[in-house]
Structure formats: structure tokens, C-alpha cells
Amino acid sequence: MSDSNTKMVAPPEGVVGEGFFATKLNDVVGLARANSLWPLPFATSCCGIEFMATMASHYDLARFGSERVSFSPRQADMLMVMGTISKKMGPILRQVYEQMAEPRWVIAVGACASSGGIFDTYSVLQGIDKVIPVDVYVPGCPPRPEQIVDGVMKLQELVRSESVRRRSSPEYQELLASYNIK
Ligand code: SF4
């Protein structure tokens, strides 16, 4: 059966010749990582429901190589925080982040995870970036699945262009040190 609608991910820039293709290691690793991000959903309230829709067949996050949802931090590299995070929950979120292996990335999904949302109260964390570093913020209360997909695509762009040595750079160490994370 012909499958002419199948779209392949474009290869990175490189030099093509008869029987060979040469490119940079950074680009190949970035391409592989960007198209195999495994999500760890940390859903505490309504935004989690939007994530369920994002995973379902209509929006189908599997198209991006992210079909393997993990509830083990050790087997996921894309932490998606969805919902209101109370201050009491902050240390648990941080522990989950610390248990993920490098390289790891974080998406704050929705107003609550990004900034506390409408809950400007004593008990709600005013943004998860108070306890862990965030790579992409998705706006909305709640964000529609299209916005969540857009957030994942933004993260893919970041991952694709990230150097394989970034995690051992002084800047990254400094970022983690500012969160008191070793
Ligand atoms: S951003 Fe809105 S929809 Fe999402 S968890 Fe907060 S209150 Fe619920």
C-alpha cells in the first residue's frame, strides 16, 4: 500500500555526496533528541485535562515522537507541569525534577504553572520557576491543546539547537546553582 502522505523530518545541514552524508555531531544529536522527547506529566488540576486531549487521537502528540508518557522521572526528559502548584507541593516538584536524568527540559503549561495564575494567595507558588528552571512557558487558562502542541514545538526548536556540551557549561552550572540544585 502506498504511503505518500508520510512526512519525514528534514535532515540537518551537511555535505552530501555519492554514498555519504557528513554533518555536525551537535546537529545529529539535537535532531534525535528533539524528535524523541518523552513527557512526564505533572498534572495537579484543570490544565491536566487539556493535556489528556493533547495526547488523544485528534491532536496526537505521538506525531512528535512523544507518545511514550512516563510517570517515572528517570525515564522521561520533558517535564510538563500542568495545574496549580501549591507551596507545599513545590519541594515534591523539585524532587521529581532532580530525579530526572540530564538532559532534561521543563514546560510550564498554563497560567498557574507559569505565574500562579489567578491564585495570588499565600498558599500558591507564583510560578514553578521559583523552584526549578523552565524552558518554555505556555500561556492560557486553560491553554488549548493547540497551544500545548505549540509549546512542545518551541521546546523541540530549543533542543534541536542545543549544543551537546551545554549541560557541562559554566552558565548551566550557574543556573542550577542559583536553584541550589547539584
Ligand atoms: S491555568 Fe487555569 S485551567 Fe490551568 S490549572 Fe490554572 S486555573 Fe486551571
47-102 tens-digit pLDDT: 999 999 999 999 999 999 998 999 999 999 999 999 999 999 999 999 999 999 99
Claim: this prediction has a pTM higher than 0.85: yes
Ligand 1 site, residue 138, Cβ cutoff 6 A: no
Verify cis geometry, omega within 30 degrees of 0, for the bond prior to 103.
Answer: yes
CA distance 147 to 143: 6
Residue written as grid cell 530549543: 158
Ligand 1 centroid, distance to 77 Cα (angstroms):
23
Ligand 1 site, residue 142, Cβ cutoff 6 A: yes
- Checking if the pLDDT of 182 tops 90, the result is no
CA distance 78 to 65: 12
β-bridge pairing 105-109 and 78-82: parallel
| Spatial strand order in the sheet of 105-109 | 39-43, 78-82, 105-109, 136-138
- Checking if the pLDDT of 12 tops 90, the result is no
Ligand 1 site, residue 111, Cβ cutoff 6 A: yes
What's the average model confidence in pLDDT over 143-159?
A: 97
CA distance 70 to 112: 22
Ligand 1 centroid, distance to 107 Cα (angstroms):
15
Integer CA distances (angstroms), 115 to 36, 96, 100, 170, in order: 28, 20, 23, 28
- Checking if the pLDDT of 178 tops 80, the result is yes
- pLDDT at position 38 is 96
- Checking if the pLDDT of 172 tops 90, the result is yes
Query: Percentage of the chain with pLDDT > 70?
Result: 98
The dihedral through the CA atoms of 97, 9, 152, 30 has a sign that is positive
Contacts of 28 (CB under 8 A, 6+ apart): 12
Phi, psi of 45 (to 5 degrees): -155, -150
Ligand 1 site, residue 89, Cβ cutoff 6 A: no
Verify cis geometry, omega within 30 degrees of 0, for the bond prior to 142.
Answer: yes
Phi, psi of 82 (to 5 degrees): -130, 110
SS3 137: strand
